[in-house]
Chain A
Amino acid sequence: MELRKSYFADVRKDDLHEIGQPRPRSDSPGHVTGRTAYFADRNFPGMLHLKMVRSPHHHARIRSIDTSEAEKHPGVIKVLTAKDVPHNVYTILILIQVGPEDETVLADGKVRWKGEAVVAVLAETERAAQEAAAKVKVDYEVLPAVFDMEEALKPGAPIVNEYHGQNYYLYDSGACRKVRFGDVEAGFAQADHVLEQSYQSSPIEHAPTETTGCVVAPEGNDRFTCHTNTQAMFFTLDNTSIILQMPGSKLHFVGGTVGGGFGGKVDVIVEPIAILGAKLTGRPVCFIYSREEEMQISSPRAAEKVVIKDGVMKDGRIVARKVTGYTDAGAYSRHSPYGAQKGAGHYPGPYTVPNVWIDTYCVYTNRTPSSAMRGFGVTIGDFALEVQMDKLARLIGMDPLEFRFINAYRDGDMKAHRQPTEGAALIECMQEAARVANWPVAEKYMAMSSYKNGA
């Protein structure tokens, strides 16, 4: 690795002992010998297997649930429905006062997406649990469903989630998160060109090699030890405490080793119901997603739509940028209100634009609830922004990299969120990228600097 010491020479120390040195990973010896203990490597005598009965409909009222045949199935120990869950309606971010509680651990009266958990079956073997789950009879009245965010926002659209009352998350700022800076309409009026484009993405599944799950063992002292591959240990502990109405001191969570997460294991889904199963049966319980459940049931990255309208001058300056972002939360909030808000914080990208208007919506549809994934709330926005940047450069006949040098934020520039830019280093990054990629850039750009007043 080469360290370019010419950059930021006045602030850097270069007394680096670790950076640039290879260091062995502490977990790798366990990985290569097969000794690393993942949650599913824990096996307890008498362990029960939990399988879910899931909704075959995108949106339906539950008229009745009949578990009698399932309960009689050989090997079945317990069948759980909504009434067994002490605090059945929850939302993960309630811990940081982002409500309302809008999601059921087990469906109560209604299902809002295809695959939603309705009944949990605990049995001696995985096979018995699966067979018994197939014997649970749920009588549904199918309701109209909505899958498209813009359709969901139209008046008269089916209401997905009654806990919200409308198909968008109501922020304290209203129906969307807003950023207002300068006068965007005046910017468009002044611009040589105005370009409006819309960008869309599909949900993306994280597809970890190890599926989501947990193994729970009741301890002799009335505590429950939960081995889990959650990426959000304390969210899981605290939400489980709320859902089960159990003090946290009764819950011992063991995690740390995750067989691939990528943000897909931050929701609190498997642990509360598995611990409840262990509590009500007095037996160890494992609840492990099948590969099919991992792909179909676990939260994907949200589908997004991003509409960007830019005003640009022939000399390359972007003078106005208006962004409307839509995040498809699916049927429940999980982390999506935060994701959509983060999008508002991320636009207009790492560029200094004098007139900015941003609205970002968190929208509810009857799709699989979405949640975090790598670069949560910003990755799709970056895709949209950077494709837009290339289109703008082409529109005015400018090299796309030189166009970015002109608009890149510098230290001291006021951002649309009224935070002055600090430690930007974008120009220096682009200079290095141009060198490494052998991309010809005019000398005046190679002489620029991120420092305040840097050319």
Chain B
Amino acid sequence: MAKVPVQFTLNGSEKAEFIDSGTTLLNALRDKIGDTSPKGGCHQGTCGACSVIIDGELRLSCLMLAETCNGATITTTSGLAVGGVLHPLQRAFLDTFATQCGFCTPGMIMAAKVLLDHTPNPSREDVVEALSGNICRCTGYEPIIRAVLAAARANPQNAA
């Protein structure tokens, strides 16, 4: 099978790989580059576990061909903590018990990050809408919604 080159920025680092044409971004990230934080739950775009951020937009990496991501800037959950300091969303998920098995968590955090990047002070309805493409089978959604709202409240810009 023909190999094609792909090159993109992942969590601030330049990445370049030769991949089989038709490889999904999810498989390229996990199997080629070794970032296993995006998860494969359905491989058909319905569970949200593979969510990543591409050029600021939330994307399902199981439905993206890696070769269409040339030149893109990609963020995954493994790249959120800077210098060992957790991102406010990670901190909030941790503090408010918003994880159980953890398999949906990276995708949830990606979806929540895109929300807060665009809407720093979201309503509960905004959070529900933003997470509506991500399936959690364990905790129920309430702790996750509370975590996202807590992360928004922790943002100093939202004080008072």
A248 to B5, CA, bound (A): 45
Contact between B90 and A209 (Cβ–Cβ < 8 Å)? no
Query: In the bound complex, what is the Cα–Cα distance between A291 and B62 (angstroms)?
Result: 13
* Bound Cα distance A260, B86 (Å): 25
Give the residues in chain A near B86, CB-CB below 8 Å. Answer: 32-33
Inter-chain contacts of A25 with B (CB < 8 A): 97, 99
A35 within 8 A of B: yes
Q: Is B154 an interface residue (CB 8 A)?
A: no
Given contacts A40-B40, A41-B36, is CB(A33)–CB(B80) below 8 Å?
A: yes
Closest to B95 in A: A24
A29 to B99, CA, bound (A): 10
Say yes or no: A32 contacts B93, CB within 8 Å: yes
**Chain B interfacial residues counted at CB < 8 A:** 40
Q: Which of A24, A41, A211 lies in contact with B41, CB distance below 8 A?
A: A211
Q: Does A36 contact B (CB under 8 A)?
A: yes
B42-50, B65-73, B123-131 - interface stretch:
B42-50
Chain A residues with Cβ under 8 A from B36's Cβ? 34, 37-38, 40-41
Main secondary structure, interface of B, reads loop
Q: Known contacts A25-B97, A30-B102, A209-B137: does B39 contact A38 (CB below 8 Å)?
A: yes
Residues in chain A near residue B138, CB distance under 8 A: 260
By size class, the interface of chain A is 20 to 34
Bound Cα distance A261, B103 (Å): 11
B111 on the A face (CB < 8 A): no
Proximity string of chain A (12-49) to chain B, C-beta cutoff 8 Å, 1 when within and 0 when not: 00000000001011011111111111101101000000
A128 CB, nearest partner CB in chain B, Å: 10
CA distance A27 to B101 in the complex (A): 9
Q: Which residues of chain B are near A210, meaning CB under 8 Å?
A: 39, 41, 101, 103
B residues sitting closer than 8 Å to A (CB atoms) are: 20, 30-31, 34-44, 46-47, 49, 76-78, 80-81, 86, 89-90, 93-94, 97, 99, 101-106, 109, 135-138
Which 7 pairs, one residue from A and one from B, show the smallest C-beta to C-beta distance? A34-B37, A31-B102, A259-B103, A41-B36, A34-B78, A34-B77, A32-B90
- Interface residues, chain A, CB within 8 Å of chain B? 22, 24-25, 27-38, 40-41, 43, 125, 206-211, 257-262, 290-291
28 contacts between A and B (CB under 8 A): A25-B99, A28-B94, A32-B86, A32-B89, A33-B37, A34-B35, A34-B37, A34-B77, A34-B78, A34-B106, A35-B78, A38-B39, A41-B30, A43-B31, A208-B101, A208-B103, A209-B135, A209-B136, A210-B39, A210-B41, A211-B41, A257-B102, A259-B39, A259-B101, A260-B103, A291-B41, A291-B42, A291-B47
